[in-house]
Structure 1
Amino acid sequence: YIAGPLQKCCCWWQQHGSILYQILHKEHESEAQRHQQYRSPHRFTGSKGCSCMDRRRVVLKTPEATCRRASEVLLKTLSFIRNLPSFYHVPWEDQLVLIQQNWAPLFVLGMAQERVDFDLREISAPSLLKKILLNQSWTANNELGSSSLGPSLAEVQKMKNLLWKFWDLDLSVKEYAYLKGIILFNSGCHVLKCLPYVQTLQQEAQQALMEFISMMFHRNLARFAWILQLIASLQDIDADAIEELFFRPILGEATLNVLLLENLYIKPHWL
């Protein structure tokens, strides 16, 4: 988790600990009551129903080093795809769909395999009191800064949680390879022209993973089921958050999707 001030939920401070809140609402609480509120579990950022983490924006604490490692992971991911003849046996339209929908989970899986961890720092936003004093529009400020200040803490924390779960499993190189095949040939993309072929490739990767786990872990298929659950969670990772966090400092205004396709020699008519 993020160390320091990022651990505290700003919603908790606004509701319980904010000086401005106490002044505006004329709350006069005893010392014991304030102490009890400080120990409240709502101060943890993971509590459900709290939109604080969605509003808080973060950037990398050491962008130069982390972006370099992230770029290396992306290049290794592309190299893995390029070395799969079966990928280039599908029409380029299907290649396009598979890359656009699956590059983000493949990238996170690569981050897990390379054990790339990263620290964050929160981007400070103007306080509500400052906005009131400067007569700034809350809505206008949100529209201006919500997408340009970096990804939300909620999205990045979701990715970090998945990385830790993969590290706890201590997957082997072969397991990572099978997982990449399962993710790349995602048969959930129903718009594919060669859907039966892609389904077959994914089933083969799943079968190979199951047989490997059965052989190496004495037929303990609970590990196989747990890994498949993690794969499903990878699909929930926001690709835009990944691009904003790891590649926006490098790409500038360029689009990562286009660069990925060019690197894989996929040449749709609009490139």
Structure 2
Amino acid sequence: MAAEISAAKFGKCQSETHRANSILYQILNREHGSETKWHQQYSGPYHSTRSKGCSCMDRRRVVLKTPEATCRRASEVLLKTLTFIRNLPSFYHVPWEDQLVLIQQNWAPLFVLGMAQEGVDFDLKEISAPSLLKKILLNQSLTANNDLGSSSLQASSAEVQKMKNLLWKFWDLDISAKEYAYLKGIILFNSGCHVLKCLPYVQTLQQEAQQALMEYISTMFHRNLGRFAWILQLIASLQDIDADAIEELFFRPILGEVTLNVFLLETLYIKPDWV
């Protein structure tokens, strides 16, 4: 278990002792849920719903129609994502500074991928905020929130719609459980433009996950590497999802004043003194 790993390992790069198939072994030997063909169940209007570049989409605010049920499902997805990470010894073999960067940078894409795997859809409703002039004319407090906004979590309509569009694309591809596992490895060990203490080790882990995904697709889909390229394009798009919008929409009523980053680090036993 991660909690039993000595503190010394958190400050030492394990690239010299890394076995070539460590991440593959951990991913392939995890129990996967049954695979479900989501694209047969979903063929709705979101396929054609796109932001046309209109700036009004960025100003519109939305909330969940059923916040209690949706936030509960979102919490379950987040916990499953954290369980996946905790079951990867390779993750705890990098220094805690690198773990910190990887989690802060990649938790949102991992969460959206988990939403896709669990088939979590959600409905929204738009909030119309009163204008400044209307507040003045109606003698309303300029600092008071409207009733709906104060009791619900708000997020940018454009950001949330971007997330929903990606979910539909994943469902259309009918991603298998093994493919999802490899994708989680690719996303978790994405170093981005950050300088990590164990950058070569992290890059090796991501390359292994990519290689395993390509080999699986080649075997299962008759060397259809177009599917591999399309999936990689989708996970690249996941990096554009606004993490703050996800936190506000799904987790603010659960966490209260606690930030999601602090919750994630504590759950994963990443506890530097300044956190």
**TM-score, scaled to structure 1:** 0.77
**1:161 matched to 2:165:** yes
Quick check: 119-128 or 256-265, which moved more?
119-128
Matching residue's letter, 1:124: S
Give structure 2 stretches of 5+ with no counterpart. Answer: 1-43
Q: Which residue number corresponds to residue 16 of structure 1?
A: none
- The CA distance in 2 between the partners of 1:233 and 1:113, in whole Å, is 16
Offset of residue 259 of structure 1: 0.5
Letter in 2 for 1:267: K
- What's the counterpart of residue 65 of structure 2? 61
Say how many residue pairs are matched: 226
Task: Select the residue among 76, 81, 87 that pairs with 1:83.
Answer: 87
| 8 A Cα contact 1:186 1:199, kept in partner | yes
Taking a change above 3 Å as real, the CA distance of residues 216 and 60 of structure 1, as seen in their structure-2 partners, is: same
CA positional deviation for 1:128: 6.8
State the percentage of identical aligned residues.
88
Is 1:46 matched up with 2:51?
yes
Offset of residue 267 of structure 1: 1.0
Partner of 1:206: 210
* 8 Å CA contact 1:45, 1:53 repeated in 2: no
2:123 equivalent to 1:119? yes
The answer as to whether partners of 2:102 and 2:191 remain within 8 angstroms in 1 is no
Q: CA deviation at 1:51?
A: 1.1
Amino acid at match of 2:197: K
Q: Indicate the structure whose relative CO is greater, using CA pairs within 8 Å and at least 6 residues apart.
A: 2
Is the aligned partner of 1:269 residue 2:270? no
The answer as to 2:160 corresponding to 1:152 is no
Partner of 1:181: 185
Question: So what's the TM-score if we normalise by structure 2?
Answer: 0.76
C-alpha RMSD of the superposition? 2.7
What does the per-residue CA deviation read over 1:176-199, in whole Å, with 9 as the maximum and x for residues that have no partner?
000000000003243211000000
Structure 1 residues without counterparts, runs of 5 or longer? 8-43
| SS of structure 1 residue aligned to 2:201 | helix
Cα drift, residue 46 of structure 1 = 2.4
Q: 1:56-106 CA distances to partner (integer Å, 9 max, x unpaired)? A: 111111011000000000000000000001000000000000000000000
| Contact 1:113/1:176 (<8 A) preserved | yes
> Greater helix share, 1 or 2?
1
Runs of 4 or more above 6 Å deviation: 135-138
Distance 1:45 1:235 in 2: 18
